[in-house]
Amino acid sequence: MSNVSVIGLGIMGLPMAIHLVKAGHTVTGFNRSPARVDALIKAGGLGASSVAEATRGAEVVITMLPDSPDVEGVVSGPEGVFVNAASGTLWIDASTIRPDIAKRLAADAADAGLRALDAPVSGGEQGAIDGVLSIMVGGDPADFESAQDVLRALGKTIVHVGPTGSGQTVKAANQLIVAVNIEVLAEAIVFLEAHGVDLDAALTVLGGGLAGSKVLEQKGKKMVTRNFEPGFRLALHHKDLGIVTAASREAGVFIPLGAAVAQLVAATVNKGDGALDHSALFKQVLQLSGRE
Ligand code: NAD
């Protein structure tokens, strides 16, 4: 069992840290708002009052932060992870960030004597709470092997997908698939509502056929009941669609549906709905049909 630090105890980071406690690791948490650290302490973890304090003495440091600048801010500089970690510490970034930044930060980590994996996750808040995340890992295969005890406490499908940055590239594809799925699910529900169909019955039968999906399972009811309390904030999905559109352009690849959905997500965020769950894309679809 290892000394593991988790920096960023939000919707995902806190339940992930709690699973590590349950697996027997000594887990120290740090978060910008201290209430989340208190929640980890209640669950059997330890609290730190700075990134530097969380990092010192850790064998594994996990970051679970919103965006690329947040991760860069936490790992760099005199108070950051790279300066304060012992040589050989394994840094696992589970946040979803730009693949090019992930590569640059992994190189900086190596210069500082650390080992780095990009290990973004999929499965949503429920997947984190249940400890069944899908984890796509980029980095050195030996470092991937040495992370197994930690990663197995968090997820069920844990796959090494290639060198540094590859985890983030696969995660960008994941976010493209999920966003387009949410958009078409929203369109189908608005269509069914307009025809006065029994929505529970419709979603049950659709879920058993080729139209079935995890998105339908987890997001269908939220749309029907207009419950947009966040599991995954729309503003974060907007960030991810920025990553996938930029990375597609860089590779000379065209994603017309993804680009259209990225615009719809951007417009919904711009209207002030960024703090809602990404299923709130449904509101935009309703509005397009004048059915608010
Ligand atoms: P969140 O906003 O709920 O959590 C982020 C946490 O980081 C917050 O508690 C915040 O206080 C903390 N934080 C921000 N800056 C900090 C700093 N400088 N120092 C310390 N703490 C800081 O976000 P989340 O939903 O947990 O998502 C985290 C990452 O995981 C994102 O990159 C997101 O895209 C990705 N992700 C989220 C989900 C999901 O369903 N929520 C699923 C898969 C991946």
DSSP string across 164-206: TTHHHHHHHHHHHHHHHHHHHHHHHHHHHHHTT--HHHHHHHH
Checking if the pLDDT of 31 tops 80, the result is yes
Last residue of a domain, one of 103, 135, 162: 162
> Residue 156 catalytic?
no
Query: What is the span of the domain harbouring residue 242?
Result: 170-288
Distance 159 CA to ligand 1 centre (A): 22
- Do residue 250 and residue 147 come from a single domain? no
pLDDT tier at 1, thresholds 50, 70, 90: confident
- Do residue 174 and residue 158 come from a single domain? no
- Do residue 103 and residue 203 come from a single domain? no
Ligand 1 binding pocket (C-beta < 6 A) is 7-13, 30-33, 36, 64-66, 70, 73-74, 95-96, 121-122, 124-125, 231-232, 236
| Of 105, 106, 96, 102, the residue nearest 134 (C-alpha) | 96
Catalytic member of 103, 171, 219, 239: 171
Residues 118, 135: Cα–Cα separation, whole Å: 10
Supply the residue whose CA is at minimum distance from atom 12 of ligand 1. Answer: 8
Last residue of a domain, one of 109, 131, 162: 162
Q: What confidence score (pLDDT) does residue 121 get?
A: 98
Residues 47-100 pLDDT 10s: 999 999 999 999 999 999 999 999 999 999 999 999 999 999 999 999 999 999
Q: Which structure tokens are listed for 13?
A: 């980071």
Distance 194 CA to ligand 1 centre (A): 37
For residues 201-221, give the mean pLDDT.
97
- Do residue 128 and residue 179 come from a single domain? no
Q: Which structure tokens are listed for 276?
A: 């809602």
Using a cut of 0.85, tell me whether the model's pTM lies above it: yes
Last residue of a domain, one of 142, 162, 182: 162
Q: What confidence score (pLDDT) does residue 232 get?
A: 95
- Do residue 129 and residue 41 come from a single domain? yes
CATH number, domain containing residue 216: 1.10.1040.10
Domain count, the chain: 2
DSSP string across 123-168: SHHHHHHHT-EEEEEES-HHHHHHTHHHHHTTEEEEEEEESTTHHH
Distances (CA, A) of 38 to 26, 44, 94: 16, 10, 21
- Do residue 135 and residue 180 come from a single domain? no
Inter-residue contact 3 to 26 (CB < 8 Å): yes
